[in-house]
Amino acid sequence: MPFGLLKYGLSSEYPGEHHFNPTTELKKHYDVVIIGAGGHGTGIAYHLAKYHGITNVAVLEKNYLGSGNTARNTAVIRSNYLTEEGVTFYRESVKLWQDLSNEFNYNVMMESRGQLTLAHSDAAIRSFRWRAEVNQHMGVRSELIDRQQIAEMVPNLNMSEDSRFPIMGGLWHADGATARHDAVAWGYAKGACERGVELHQLTEVQDIEVTSGRVTAVKTNRGRIECGCVVQAVAGASSVVAKMAGIPLPIHSYPLQAMVTQPYKPILTPHVSSPHLHVYTHQTSRGEFVIGGGSDPYPLYNTRATLDQRESLTAAALELFPFFAQARMLRQWAGTTDMTPDYSPIMGLSPVENYYLDAGWGTWGFKATPICGKTMAELVATKKVPDIIKPFELERFYKYQQINEAGATAASH
């Protein structure tokens, strides 16, 4: 084995493994057209091909594979939500995450280092107690911990009682994790392409043809394709794409900004989040601190970074970890989050019969990737809405049955 590696290293030819099919001409017809090749889109394609034998599938991507929010999210995986529907859904997702690398034989560098959410007020302690009870009842590892436990768990955290918002307690979620986000899209796309799915990058959907309540074809910059059904998984662009099919959505697109420091030696184990200070951070496996997530104060289809957000994120991060004062920032970036009024996703059927929605992923899309791929593929293959995603249907807004997910990161509460 070492000789093989040495030979490979000295070779002038790198027999790189081709993960995806080379770009071919678009076919005239596909049974399933998936718009958007992020984790969700490729996950749906993977599950369709592997578990439902549906391989005449095209995944269309305007840019390149995993170039949208799959590459821009801060890679947080957790299931300590507040609503029964939310906890059930994300709990199943975390289970799938834990075996994801084996599932498609591609290392997503899953690390279950836990998540600590900080309370800086009595009200937060009360709501954490509530969340812990709901979580434990539903089989999610989640508990309220006190200041001493926090100090032992995160020795670098500023536990001073003289800070502006002293830490009063925390919600400890042992199931919290992180993973390499790009690898998720790559692993799913590889597994899907090996089974016959076609990935078409630089293929932008420009129009969607709907005749008497059914999608018949999709027009792209590379030609028109007829399709049996369409799934849209386009995150920030959800409203724009759905509008082509004549479907209004209860979504506003807001940029969410994050940034990352220079690498440090490993000094922080869990993910630390403070809803009160609007900041969260964790140390990546290569040592950088990812600091998120500041939502812009008004909707925008633009991924520019602003000084305002850098200032507010930095101020909050400094309050938690004073050593950040010495840190250099490597990058700051944004992703367009498709926010729903109730902080829950919109999944499943749409007013157009064979058009399926995978939208409204706001700040909670990455952690839902595996369960979303599984359940949306099941819906496409069987035409039956799986129970676990039934509550997230678009129709809930017309029935005034929103799922108020106050456990969402960006929830303004």
Residues in touch with another protein (CB under 8 A) = 237, 239-240, 248-253, 297-302, 304, 306, 308, 341, 397-398, 400, 402
- Residue whose token pair is 């010495």: 326
In this structure, which amino acid lies at residue 177? A
The 3-state secondary structure of 168-217, one letter per residue = CEEEEECCCEECCHHHHHHHHHHHHHHCCCEEECCCCEEEEEEECCEEEE
Nearer to another protein, 253 or 261 (CB): 253
Cα–Cα distance measured from residue 390 to residue 278, given in angstroms and rounded to the nearest whole number? 31
357 with 172: CB under 8 angstroms? Answer: no
Instruction: Kindly state the smallest distance separating residue 317's Cβ from another protein, in Å.
Output: 20
Which lies closer to another protein via its Cβ, residue 206 or residue 302? Answer: 302
Closest-CA residue to 397 (of 355, 352, 356, 360): 360
Rounded to a whole number of angstroms, the minimum distance from the CB of residue 412 to another protein is 12
- 389 is written with which tokens? 């995603």
**Shortest Cβ 374–another protein spacing (Å):** 28
In angstroms, what is the minimal distance from the CB of 308 to another protein? Answer: 7
- Report d(CA 243, CA 216) in Å as an integer: 16
> Based on CB atoms, which residue is closest to another protein, 359 or 372?
359
Peptide linkage before 9 cis (omega within 30 of 0): no
The SS3 of residue 370 is helix
Query: C-beta of 240: minimal distance to another protein in Å?
Result: 5
Which is nearer to another protein, 74 or 253 (by Cβ)? 253
Q: Residue 111 or residue 338: which is nearer to another protein going by CB?
A: 338
Nearer to another protein among residue 3 and residue 400 (C-beta): 400
Nearest approach in angstroms of CB 255 to another protein is 9
- CA-wise closest residue to 337 among 259, 287, 411, 282: 411
